[in-house]
Amino acid sequence: MSKTILITGTSNGFGNDVARTLAAAGHRVFATMRDINGRHREAALELQSQGIETLELDVTDDASVDAAFKALFAKTGGKLDVLINNAGIAAGGIQETFTPEQTRAMFDVNVFGIQRVTRAALPSMHQAKAGLIINIGSILGRVTLPFFALYGASKHAVEAVTEGYRYELSQQGIDVVLVQPGPYPTKLYTAIQKPADPARADSYGDVAKMPAAFEEFLGGLFASENAPNPHDIATAIVDIIAQPSGQRSNRVVVGLDFGAIAANTAIAPIQAKLVADIGMEHLNTLKTQ
């Protein structure tokens, strides 16, 4: 069955591929991005050429989010079946070398952006008593790699935000799923944010060389015959949307997991017991019509 779907961060990477793939699968897709008439104009035109509707949306700006959803609902009669929170940025390096402003900007996209966009989407889903929200997290929301801790911290936050939404919306018939990708050769990694204060690494000795060494490792992985295929994410999302409400996994790891699957498996019963112990076990089950 065709769904009405809005995706954030579709100028490149996962979001762009997901938009194309879902449209090819017969869904009505609204691809959103910043600077739709500026630096991302070519990306928007290419999506439009494939029958995908595009909207200007900056996840860090309340007015932009509100305007995008006003335009969306004007086109769909107030309908939205699926929201995919994909927009994100990454940072790699010694934490001390990143400024507070850089850290704040990353959290504004990766965490606060999800909150802004989801708040705008939910009234329509509440009215329908149905819907699906897919948040794109990371395996680094479960396991921590040295020199990616700030990015991982934002994705740890996405873990909590997503879990909370899943409980809070379960009795409204709104399903919430977290996708946890491993590393993939997308612009997220190839254009990773660099420290604005690199001189602070001078006192770290040989440790200061390690972020570059890890980048070389990723470069080698991405250039190898066994390089992860970013299309895996689009394929996984198509499958998630096709699954019946109430039968979806809470978390879906895609690609190299670096132990995230084991972490998910270990934490799941602990989390379930916690919710049961406080008398809220029913929130673990999606209420469907």
DSSP states of 73-94 = HHHHTS---EEEE-----B-S-
As a dihedral over the C-alpha atoms of residue 190, residue 191, residue 195, residue 199, rounded to 10 degrees, the angle is 70
Token pair belonging to 233:
């994410």
> Where does residue 162 fall: left (phi above 0), alpha (psi -120 to 50 degrees), or beta otherwise?
alpha
Say whether 184 is catalytic.
no
Beta partners for 31?
7, 54
H helical segments located in 95-148: 100-107, 113-128
Q: Print the SS3 string covering 242-265.
A: HCCCCCCCCEEEECCCCCHHHHHH
C-alpha–C-alpha distance, residues 271 and 266, integer Å: 9
Q: What share of the chain is helix, strand, coil (3-state, %, to 5)?
A: 55, 15, 30
Single out the catalytic residue among 151, 184, 189, 204. Answer: 151
Catalytic residues: 151
